[in-house]
Structures are given as C-alpha cells and as structure tokens.
Structure 1
Amino acid sequence: MATASGIPVIDMQDFAGLPEKLVRACEEWGCFRLINHGVSEKLMSETKVVTRSFLDLPLEIKMRNPSPVEGKGYIPLNYATPVFEGMGIFESASPGAVDDFCNQLGASPHQREILFKYSQALYDLAQDLGAKLLEGMGLHGDLFNGWSCQLRLNKYHNTPQSVGQTGAVMHSDPGFFTILQDDEIIGGLEAVSRKTGELVPVDPMPGTLMVNIGDIAKVWSNGRFCNVKHRVQCYEAKIRTSIALFVLGPRDTKVETRHELVDSEHPNLYIPFDFEEYRTLRITTRAPTGGALELFRATNF
C-alpha cells in the first residue's frame, strides 16, 4: 500500500513479510507511514492537546526548557525560523527525563501522565521497529541499546503572510530514524523522492505515524538506507502541530557500519565516528542535508 505520492504505508499488524517491507521502504524512500502501530488514537489526540498547551505558555516559562546544545531545548520564533518554535526532552527514555521537563513548565499531573505515556509508547514502538529492521536484514542483536533519544514538540505559526514560505528548511534528520506524529489536518511536510529527486507532498493521514530515516541509518546500513531529505512548507494560514521522537545515536560507542553488511562487493563506506561530534559538524559546516557524512567517507582516509 502507498499514498498518492507513492510513499509506502505499512500495516504493523500485517505480519506477512513485515520486516522485509520495512527494509524495502528504508532503501527505496527513506520514509513511510505506519498504520495499526499500537499507539492509540486517544493518546495521540491527548498528546497533541498537551503539546499545544505547552507551546501556548508565556515565553518566559517556555524559556525554562534549556538548550545547552542547539536543537535540544526550546527554540523560539526568530529570524531563521520565523514561523516555527519547539521544545525538547533530551534523553526522553531515561528515568526522570519527562518529569524534569514537566517540572520546568509547571505541568499538571494530567499533562505529566499523558506525556509520560506517549513518550513510553513511542519508545516501545521504536524498539519494535529496530528489531524488525534487524530481522528484515537477517541480523541479530539489540539495535538501540544505549542510544540517545529526544522527544520534540513543535508548533508552526502559519499566517496569511507566510503561506507559500518554508516553515522548516530542507534537511535530513541526523539520527537513525524519527517517529513523527504530524498534524492530522494541516499538511506541509514534503519529502524528496530517492528515485526522481523531486519533492513530493506527504499528505496527512489521521491516526498514522510517519517514520523518517536519518543520516546514522545510512552509515549503519553501509549506504543501503536512504536518509530522506524533507522540509515543511506553509500551505495555509492555520496553526500546525507535530510531535517527534528522534532515535539519535549511541552514547558511549562510535557510530559505525554493521559489520555483516560489509564484504568484498560492499566495502565499508564510512569510518567510525562520535555521534555528538557529527551533530556539531552538521551545524558548523552548515550541512543540514547529510553532506557532513562525506567527512567520514572511508575513501578520505
């Protein structure tokens, strides 16, 4: 099954060939929609309400969500992102991370409960996807053991003046993959087709979750997976909300290609590197679409 644009739609409860379907989507598109993914629509809806309530708080409260490293905490409206703001929970799967975030914002017990349940549900789904990707590639192990994750809550202040403009610039995600609950009503997400190089709209599908494959997955798969380039456009003058879990990279070990995917016909394309070093290089080299990976090409050494 696929959307009108051709982006795959994968049913997580259709078990026949599911791991292989996921791998194929990672290779051919680098993104796909999930249906029957196990996260209830009620929880998704409640989390969107909580997200809107947090991002409607006064600026001085939102600024309590610190950002010691770019992109990890609160990002206010500014010249570079005139319609976008967001806040984040770094290491969202770690004990106490959601509580610490809620303490920063003075969240109610209900808001705290919803956010905790949602964060846990997405983390469990990420683990399931990781296991199925391993299975689909004939591999074994625990893919994301000891990896960092981040939950981000986003709001696009689309106005009549911003219609037709870019809300989030073209980029690939730096980590392994992102599980995105995009706005079920207001579109704007666009992805680059690996086959044609053209931008295609990613239309909303209520109750679904979008998965975007990132730079680290390209390295891990020895170039087989597509780190999909995407952006967000302002289609109409309405507030747009999204919620994303970023499965980033290993905390205490290097990012490296899975050794089983290297042989005489498929030589290793990348040298091992530190994930946080890579994130910094993406910023300092102004390479938001994965170009900084070329600095770690094995042919350069």
Structure 2
Amino acid sequence: MGKGKESIPTIDLSNFPGEYGKLREACAEWGCFRVVNHGIPLDLMWDMKKVARSLLDLPVEIKRRNTDVIARSGYQEPSPVNPLYESLGLYDMASSHSVQTFCSQLDASPHQSEIMEKYAQAIYALTMEIGGKLAESLGLNSDFCKEWTCLFRINKYNFTPEVVGSTGAQIHTDSSFLTILQLDENVGGLEVMERNSDAFIPVDPLPGALLINLGDVATAWSNGRLFNVKHRVQCKEAGVRVSIATFLLGPKEAAVEAPPELVDAEHPRLYVPFTYEEYRKLRISSKSAAGTVDLLRIHS
C-alpha cells in the first residue's frame, strides 16, 4: 500500500528534542520531509519568490552572464533532456561577495540585492541547523558541516498547455548532502519515489513549509543510514513554476566518508572516501542522474 501524499513526514523545528526520532525515521524511510516553524519569515519567502521570478524572466543574453567558479553552477538553459527547465545558480551562498557578484551579473536592483542577501543569510543558517539536527539524530556532533559549501539555485519551468503530461525534470537524486526547497505555492509537479517501490508520491505545495530532500553525499556520509530520494517534476497544468533550492554540497576539500561512530562490525564501511569535486565529475562523466553513488560502493 502506498504511503499517501499526506504521509510525507512533517518536522516541527520548534519541537526539539522531541522530533529526533521522527527525523531519524523520515531520513531512513523517505529521504525527504517538510519542515515547519523554521524561522524564515513568510514575507521574506514571498519577496524572494518575486525576485526569483523577475530574474528568471530576464532576456537570455543577460541570464547567460550568470557564470560561476565551477562548471554547471551558473545559468542552465533549457536542454534536450529537460527542455521545459532553466535555472540560475550561485556556488557559495554563504559568501556575501558571491551573492553580490551574482546580483551584479544580472543587473539586480538594490532592493533585489537586499532581498537576496537576507534570504541567503536566513536559508544558510537554516541549512546549518537542519544539518546539525540530522547529525545529532545519529548521535554525532552537530557542527560537522559548518565548513561545507552551499549552492543556491532558482528554477523556472515553462509549462504550456501543449506539454501537460510531460516531464519537467527527469528522475534524479541530488548529488548534495541535503536540499532545502521552497516550492511554488501555485503550480505543483514535484513527485518523490517511495523507497520500496517505483510508485511516485505527489508533493503538493504547503504554504509556509519547506521541503528537505536527502542526496547522494548523505547516503555515503551516513554509511547507508540516510536515504537519497529519487524525485522528478511533472507538468500537470499550464503555468510558470518557480522553485528556490539550496544545496548543502559537502566538504570543500576534505573527503566525504562515514565518521568512525557509524562504522563497526555490524555496519562495515560501505563507500570509498571521495571529495565532492570528484563526485561531481563522476556524475557528469557517468551521465547518470540517479544511482551514481553506487559506483563507489565497497565490494567485499
């Protein structure tokens, strides 16, 4: 029996330590959960949505100025694989300089830049908080991810009547440790795959809530305890869909590997150590949007 869309777990960030067990279960069984009472003002979320929409509506020649320090972290144009999708990106959202560079590339107004700065600071703090609570739920130190990079991306799906029923973003796992998604509250389409079946569960927008997805780095770092959820975006209705994503990637230079506390005789090490940059290149070269982390499993 399917879990049902209403069963995607909701974690109340104002209710810790009472939510640790629920958080642990959500991460192991679903690989995703909603968070409420997260502390980001609704007005700021709404303002960021307006800024995202206006930047994504810019002429393509301006959007192409959005380049960044690593390949594929800047502007992504519609492609044969995802023809309805485009996005703008910022590699290191914790850096005020990087945020200002992003804004200047796109001729953002002072007001837009101010909104970007406020949102980046707020969502980065939340990313660190959620990453810390995930570690604590496994009995580990909460500050493990404080030096990790956060990638910021605003996404636009151009859904027209002619493409209803088609796919906006192909089935994939995120390469990151975790992703925080501010969904479009008007146009849905995100679906997550159940862990033990190929069934997809729609993730309907819930005003004010944020969605957390766990990615490939989380699975390797946790020695298999955290589930990297497969998901996709389907075009279910005509309209422009805008979402805002923050990706906690991994260590900037150190290797991703399970802490000693998560490795023992009953839980042998499952993955070879790797840097995030090595993994990013492996994802690209393998041309695999899901399952790439399995290439790094240790075969006993």
Distance 1:41 1:286 in 2: 38
The gaps in structure 1 that reach 5 residues or longer are none
Distance 1:237 1:38 in 2: 32
Amino acid corresponding to residue 165 of structure 2 in structure 1: G
Distance 1:220 1:191 in 2: 22
Distance 1:187-1:150 versus aligned 2 partners, 3 A rule: same
Deviates more, 1:195-204 or 1:159-168: 195-204
Tell me the secondary structure at the aligned position of residue 245 of structure 2.
Answer: strand
Tell me the secondary structure at the aligned position of residue 149 of structure 2.
Answer: strand
Instruction: Identify the residue that residue 296 of structure 2 maps to in structure 1.
Output: 296
Instruction: Identify the residue that residue 112 of structure 2 maps to in structure 1.
Output: 111
Map 1:149-298 onto structure 2 (within 5 A): 149-289=150-290, 291-298=291-298
Deviations 1:188-218 (A, max 9, x none): 0000011333111111111110000000000
Runs of 4+ aligned residues of structure 1 deviating over 6 Å after TM superposition are: none
Distance 1:133-1:68 versus aligned 2 partners, 3 A rule: closer
1:51 pairs with 2:45: no
Distance 1:15 1:273 in 2: 32
Map 1:130-149 onto structure 2 (within 5 A): 130-149=131-150
Deviates more, 1:101-110 or 1:71-80: 71-80
Distance 1:141 1:225 in 2: 16
Distance 1:3 1:34 in 2: 18
Q: Is the 8 A contact 1:179 1:244 kept in 2?
A: yes
Amino acid corresponding to residue 99 of structure 1 in structure 2: Q
Distance 2:146 2:11 in 1: 25
Instruction: Identify the residue that residue 125 of structure 2 maps to in structure 1.
Output: 124
Deviations 1:58-86 (A, max 9, x none): 11111100156443010112322211110
Distance 2:196 2:236 in 1: 25
Shift of 1:295: 2.4
Count residues with an aligned counterpart: 298
Instruction: Identify the residue that residue 24 of structure 1 maps to in structure 2.
Output: 25
Deviations 1:68-113 (A, max 9, x none): 6443010112322211110001111123111000010111111001
Shift of 1:131: 1.7
The gaps in structure 2 that reach 5 residues or longer are none
Q: Is the 8 A contact 1:146 1:252 kept in 2?
A: no
Q: Is the 8 A contact 1:5 1:201 kept in 2?
A: no
Amino acid corresponding to residue 178 of structure 2 in structure 1: F
Tell me the secondary structure at the aligned position of residue 298 of structure 1.
Answer: coil
Output the TM-score relative to the length of structure 1. Answer: 0.95
